[in-house]
Amino acid sequence: MANNNADTGGAGSQSGTPVRYFTVVDNEILIQPRLDDLKKYQPRLKADMVGLAQMVAASGPIGGRTIYENLYRLQPGQRIKLEKGRLVSSSDWEWENIPATQHEPNQILDALTTEVQRVTRQRNVI
């Protein structure tokens, strides 16, 4: 039921990873490249007021929220699974917490490439 192809539906992200949205329906995680593709699975869709406020204040989603309750955006390096009917999220790669440095751009690129290779060898990362 989930669509995990590389089509981002024209959307991108600051990290360069393809954007993916997800919801949980009947104890199954559904993943799609566009938020609109998931709306049909949540017939009683309600606005997420905190998500709306974040969109206005930050000009974009924060922490995986969207403007709808129960529709979420996967974060770079995030893994999700269901355990006993409960959504569990984890990440080995917190790209937003990379400390500032005075290194040359090539050194930064080399370090980032090494870290991405390390993480992707361990697991599938979107």
Domain assignment of residue 75, yes or no: yes
Residue 11 pLDDT > 90: no
Q: How confident is the model over 49-88, as pLDDT tens digits?
A: 998 998 888 877 788 899 999 999 998 778 899 999 899 9
Q: How many domains does one find in the chain?
A: 1
Query: Comparing C-alpha atoms, which of 30, 63, 68 is closest to residue 52?
Result: 68
Residue 42 pLDDT > 70: yes
pTM score, two decimals?
A: 0.62
Domain assignment of residue 39, yes or no: yes
Domain assignment of residue 117, yes or no: no
Q: Which residues contact 48 (CB under 8 A, 6 or more apart)?
A: 65, 66, 67, 68, 69
Residue 126 pLDDT > 90: no
Residue 5 pLDDT > 50: no
Domain assignment of residue 67, yes or no: yes
C-alpha distances in Å from residue 93, one per residue of 10, 38, 86, 125: 25, 26, 22, 10
Residue 17 pLDDT > 80: no
Range with the poorest average pLDDT among 8-12, 21-25, 26-30, 46-50? 8-12
Domain assignment of residue 46, yes or no: yes
Domain assignment of residue 53, yes or no: yes
Instruction: Considering only residues 18 and 26, tell me which one the structure prediction assigns the higher pLDDT.
Output: 26
Domain assignment of residue 7, yes or no: no
Domain assignment of residue 14, yes or no: no
**pLDDT for res 98:** 64
Per-residue pLDDT band at 7 (split at 50, 70, 90): very low
